[in-house]
Structure 1
């Protein structure tokens, strides 16, 4: 016989839809807090306690997940493990491809108007690049963005990735 209010929701109470963001490196504690703050779990610690009590080792992948309010800790974990609940806005910059070539693909996979991306690459100085074009400044990789990411933020991340790569290689670029 338990005393006090139950820490978890009863199964079958889940309703609506909420988005929960898992950040790079998040473990059970921060994920438990994020679930509580989004209204998914009833208490801040119930999800973390569930992982500990059931001896569940889980790797959380960064991204935005679609869950429901008033989920049990067990159901929330199942939802986080279900790839269909992960909202992914990915963009790919192929090696050797021109901006003109890959921008339409980025726009399509990101669900973003092509005109916004084209406007974002017009002025390299916005990103601290002293060149006539951003050609060669957008690092070839696959990127994942939050759903609310703007065209300028997409391009900024690609330029930043180029700078990181150059710094690791000990190089510099002059233009």
Structure 2
């Protein structure tokens, strides 16, 4: 009996791992698929799998049965691979032919909360809350980046994007992260790891009022790190306190025990404090 229980538990573990793998979005770029009229869930699933939009046609078919909504025919544009339940919802909503794309520009230096609020205001996201639940979750951040990071702060690249109204948070997040990956690939190989690069670049981004200040500020912080000194950057204190009003930083604020407070903690904080931009004025280039 004990042996049977162990075998059953092992089978469950293997099955769970396989299902989790098959649910992961494939690594595919911009892809267009056409779903014919009166297509069944199985037919649509096969089309999506062959196009590389979903990893498993079988899993899509099973999950779509829970939606209890018919699949709508038409041409769909996928900007990346998606989870099967996301694809199911998109095909049930119908093609976006009657929904013009929304152009939205994410400013350099924006934090995750600001990005979420802007995307919701523009109509890209239905709920900023769902977006924040994902980007602030370390487990989800690991799924996206492959790094053990506290959140996706600093990993969603500030740029101009075009999205359909009501785009899922997962699609938006993956597209912005993929844009960051392309930008990093275009830069010379960094001397340190990507996370440290983004963290330091974000502090320079937040500290700089004008583009011409960035080289000087970057040099100061780089020298402090080399000497083992504290960075003593005011924006990290504001991030630690989550206080972004116009009130000045007070001496008592510098005593915050947060690891993001670089007045108390030597070296870099646990992660970026905002989204740094790109060259020619990008702080990223000062650490290469």
Output the TM-score relative to the length of structure 1.
0.48
Structure number with the bigger relative contact order (C-alpha 8 A, sep ≥ 6) is 1
Output the TM-score relative to the length of structure 2.
0.30
Larger fraction in strand: 1
**Greater gyration radius:** 2
